Amino acid sequence: MTNPTQNPTNRAARAGLVAAATALASVVLWSALTAWMTGLTNPYELGDPGDVVRWGQPILRSVTNLAMAVAIGGAIFAVLSLSDGAKNLVRTLNLVAMAGAAWVLFGSASYLFTYLSITGLPVSFDGAFTDGLVLFATEVALGQSLAINLALGLLTATLAVMVRSLKGSLAVAVTAVAALVPLAVSGHASGTAGHAMAVNSIGLHLLAVVVWVGGLVALPFATSGETSERASVLVKRYSALALAAFAVTAISGSANALVRVNLDQLFTTTYGLLVMSKIVTLAVLGLFGAYYRLRVIGQLESQKTRTWFGRLALAELVVMGVAMGLATTLSRTGAPDNTNYNQNPTPAEILTGEPLPNELIASSWFTEFKFDLLWSIICVGAAGFYIWGVLRLRKRGDKWPIARTASWMFGLALLAYITNGAPNVYGEYLFSVHMIGHMMLSMGVPVFLVRGAPITLLMRAVNKRTDGSMSIRDWFLWAVHTPWAKLVSHPIFAAINFAGSLVIFYFTPLFEWSVRDHLGHQWMTVHFLITGYLFVQALVGVDPGPNRLQYPIRLMLLIGTLAFHAFFGLALMGGDALLVADWFGAMGRTWGATPLDDQHDGGAIAWGIGELPTAVLTIIVSVQWARSDARESKRLDRASDRSGNQDVEDYNAMLARLAKRDEQ
């Protein structure tokens, strides 16, 4: 009879439970310990909720965070590492479903304890208590964010039970990652002067941590019962994810801390000491990762090494539990007050939370910067991966045009400037500057990025997997061949979307959302960048696409879109109503054009700034057309030569027959 403990499913369950229990014990212990050490468990001076709530809240929040990390990180690991239809994919999805259920269960209890901590009310079943809880969930920003997070957690758990395929796992992962967004825009991030930096940094930090922690807990479920060779492959894939997560965690954590605490307060305040403790745990985790990559991963075919790796992973989970416990306490600890409150804030400070920048002069375009962590990481990461792909091609003897590399890098540099330079500094105060950034984002950057042919490089530099799993390359190729991608990338649709987005965006509440809300601003950036990219790709794209129009039709689309831009610009130039008047018209600027005149300038920019990219696109389309005709002529000449000029003789014979018919 077979020993049940040797069954792969049983071994996976045992290994996974040990990993989860280790992380759980560590996070509970350290969340309670740090909460006690920092005084968060002491009785409140006013509205004390009681010992159970004061001690239970940090523990419940930590357990919820751990369950959320396992659910999200496990889903992402499955999407990028596991094979479609494999047993370990089913096991991992079961883990995601169980973690999602725990996320909702403990998160609901934490939600209730959060409400009790804020109100100081005892638990009651009367109407007043219920009404207050409903009000907290529907009207208070923190309550709304936590409620949305729990709702998405429930949806994640439900989907994880229902799906068993790799593409279904993608839906689980996307839903789970979306649950991080409301957490990023709430809490400490919502109350800082550097609101954009705080939201971006904490959002990136949360994503990196859940990938790191959740992937490590899911790893035993994925590797148990697998051959040593297969287990080594899966560990290497997780290691690549963990390395990226470590880098993003370190960068985003540092940026987030710098927003809230000065360097001299790191050792003199409770908040600073907690930050330093997290830095130490991060350094220890970095040493774990370095040891894995340098000494362990290459020898995982050995059973002895696999056992040693498992023990190291458990030790790493203990340290991760310490870090998550510290993070929970840190999120409930007030940062040092470094703000010099202005008793008479300017209108700009009331609206944006920050003082009005210096007057915009010519030199300001080169000297004024406002760092955006999210887009900086995107630009640096895109540049790094592109260079890696080019070097990989060269290593195996393949060539890649230098012009494509230069075009890609210049496009990323331009994108980095738009999101970090003067357009990001002045865009929320001056409509004209906002329009410059918009036009460059949708018509300038895509021209260079498209000519870089990133999809072609990805296809050539990254090998197709043969084990049923899907790499980033495979997911990209799948995505561009979906019916939805074929629709949005069709030249006609891309042109209509590109032109119509202007009207829909600027003459609906979407524009006001983008200027008032950081999430709306990021959505605007993503939308117009993608919209412009699809339009330019349809016209002059190097990457293969499902739909290609004839060159005359491409030129007609380009001219028609330019005409629409002109009409849009003229509408702004001649308008006498200020867009988002209680924003652009209420900044209290004492320099520059009046808000309405500035809006008229923005209309002129919308009309005029499109001329240069349009001229470039027209030249590119014309050159491609000429080259296409030249290639077709050469092809016909070669075909004629192969047939002994038979086509010429046939043509002459046809002319002779026509002439003879005319004579008759």
Instruction: Assign 3-class secondary structure to 174-232.
Output: HHHHHCHHHHHCCHHHHHCCCHHHHHHHHHHHHHHHHHHHHHHHHHHHHHCCCCHHHHH
Q: How far apart are the first and last CA of the chain?
A: 100
* CA nearest neighbour of 423 among 377, 372, 484, 498: 372
Residue 481 has a CB neighbour count (10 Å cut-off) of 10
On the 0-12 / 13-18 / 19+ scale of CB atoms within 10 A, 639 is exposed
Find out whether 107 and 39 touch, Cβ atoms under 8 Å. Answer: no
380-410 burial, b if ≥16 CB within 10 A, otherwise e? eebbebbeebbebeeeeeeebeeebbebbbb
Residue 653: per-residue pLDDT: 62
* Phi, psi values for residue 608, rounded to 5°: -85, -35
Continuous segment of H or E residues that includes residue 248: helix 228-260
Residue 31 Cα to chain centre, angstroms:
29
For the four alpha carbons of 470, 472, 478 and 483, in that order, the dihedral sign comes to positive
Distances (CA, A) of 501 to 273, 442, 512: 48, 11, 15
Q: Spell out, as residue ranges, where the chain has pLDDT lower than 70.
A: 1-13, 15-16, 187-194, 298, 300-306, 308, 335, 337-343, 545-547, 551, 610-611, 621, 624-664
- Which two tokens mark 610? 């499109």
Distances (CA, A) of 545 to 356, 379, 500, 540, 613: 46, 24, 22, 11, 22
Q: Which amino acid would we find at residue 494?
A: A
Residue 536: per-residue pLDDT: 87
623-633 burial, b if ≥16 CB within 10 A, otherwise e? ebeeeeeeeee
56-92 burial, b if ≥16 CB within 10 A, otherwise e? bbbbbbbbbbbbbbbbbbbbbbbbbbbbeebebbbbb
Residue 68 Cα to chain centre, angstroms:
18
Residue 172: per-residue pLDDT: 96
* CA nearest neighbour of 593 among 359, 350, 309, 273: 359
Ordered alpha helix ranges (H), 396-508: 402-420, 422-426, 431-439, 445-451, 454-461, 472-480, 483-489, 491-506
* CA nearest neighbour of 369 among 197, 222, 528: 197
Residue 71: per-residue pLDDT: 95
Residue 5 DSSP code? G
Residue 191: per-residue pLDDT: 45
